[in-house]
Amino acid sequence: MDVKFDYIVVGAGSSGCIVAARLTEDASVKVLLVEAGGSDRSLFITMPGGLPFVYQNKRIGWGYQSGPEPHLHGKMIDEKAGKIIGGSSSINAMIFNRGNPMDYDGWADNGLKDWDYAHCLPYFRTMETFEDGPDDFRGGDGPLRISRAKAEHKLYDAFLRAGEQSGFEVTPDHNGYRQEGMHVAQSFIHDGVRWSAPRAYLRSAMRRPNLTVLPKTLVTRVLVENGAATGIEVAGPDGPRRVTCEREVILCAGAVNTPKLLLLSGIGPADDLREVGVDVVADIPGVGRNLQNHPGVDIQFGTAHEDSLTAQLNLFGRARLGAEWLLLRRGLGTTNFFEAGAFLATRDDLGFPNMQYEFLPLTRKLVNGKLVPVPGFQVWMDLSRPESRGYVKLLTRNPADAPLTVFNHYESRQDLQDMIDGVRLMRDRVIGQSAMQRFRPRHLNPGPEVTGDRDLETWIRGATGTSYHPSGTCRMGTDSDAVVDSEGRMNAVRGIRVADASIMPRVVTGNLNAPVMMMAEKIADRIRGRQPLAPSDAVYYRAGR
């Protein structure tokens, strides 16, 4: 390309859209944003209720799998990741969770002083407009529009009441003072449409003459000369092309594709690179290591047809859903259906929750390769702070090939025990309360015969999937083994910065979209040389305080 760019941003996902938009607020800076996927302009993507169709659309995802997973009998796990403008913000379940304040304080305790909750909260606030209005914890004039779910179906209320009967509080705002407890969900939905990163940030920025967006373009490596990044190489119909920049290459490709690209560029563990025939540019053992995710299972129950949301999703109901959304932006098409949830602890020795639950007033089963609704309800449960660690490695040096991704779920025995306890907590303690028992729920999955620890362990190993939250593969830190510093700058190669979930030292307690956006906002300020936002003095909940 003939244009001389200051910055090249790789990946137009949640973080890439934000970094590109914020950098181009400076009219003197020229930015290229490169994305492997195409346009996000689709009714099914825009309509929150179209989520099942989006998940099943292979044309807008990377199609990656993890595994074989050694502690799951060699199981392969589908890993949803958006190959589209907006990345995973254009295909995810739109659940808005920030993580627990103590997650960020934990990062700070390990040397990342500017990443404690006091320094992160102002960026969470500045990026959002919360439906209920601003306060010490919530923002009122940011580009992201965050709504509170209506949770009108009777099973949502029953779930919350059952939690109270179990001894858990219903927290008024789990993204505010207190995360722990039962909650009505919040989402990246506004006026009945998905509020993705392109809608919030990129579309307005694309009107600026200093931003160039290059879709449907696969970046094959970062160009490095004399220890510094000078640009990128991209795949083209006539062979590879080079695009150069004056200042930085900023990687926002996610916790699988960012380390993959670094490895293809010769940046990573030297022995692994030589194994696949990649010339070593910089021997950085941490690239691709420290991989984390949230392993989880669906706990499913059957009910009478009329008690489940399934009753409204027959052929007529689905037609009505589409028509009401298309014409009026109301009805079931405006929801992601995850309208109630909980953050709970399975052990008394934990300082904050280790388990996340998302409640659905319907359940589904696989029929001829497709998920179909059946009368009942289900709870998706994931382990929020696993100890197990995995890795991303190259299988070949062909950029079109998927890397080897292994999470090593349940390598830690404690992780598996926490999952067993988490199933019991929900299935026996919460669903066992009168608020839910009046609907006479039947154990579908796991079945009523699965009761002992050994049976639950076998079921969990077979049923485990993930929440699609890969992170940690280019760990941020102050120690010699860290891949990037506290501003996302690569330690061993000048001119490369990382600003996505791969720099998380430890995965947070919750969904990753909101934390990744916060991190992008924070790092964009550092790239621009702007004074960081002043730390917050808001006091958050700590158990026993």
Catalytic residues: 469
Confirm if 341 and 156 have CB atoms less than 8 A apart.
no
- For residue 118, give the nearest of 537, 545, 543, 435 by alpha carbon: 537
Say how far apart CA 222 and CA 230 lie, in whole Å. 8
Instruction: State the residue for tokens 């998380």.
Output: 504
Phi-psi category of residue 125: left, alpha or beta, with phi > 0 → left and psi -120 to 50 → alpha: alpha
535 C-beta neighbours (distance < 10 Å), count: 14
Torsion, Cα of 21, 484, 401, 461 (10° steps): -110
Rg (CA), the chain: 23
Spatial distance between the Cα atoms of 477 and 494, rounded to a whole number of angstroms: 17
- Nearest CA-CA partner of 73 in 339, 506, 409: 409
Give the integer Cα–Cα distance in Å for 156 and 430: 13
CB 478 within 8 A of CB 487: no
Q: What are the angstrom distances between the C-alpha of 523 and each of 115, 202, 545?
A: 11, 17, 32
Neighbour count for residue 134 (Cβ, 10 Å)? 14
**What CA–CA distances, in Å, run from 153 to 149, 359, 365?**
11, 12, 21
- How many Å apart are CA 260 and CA 47, to the nearest integer? 32
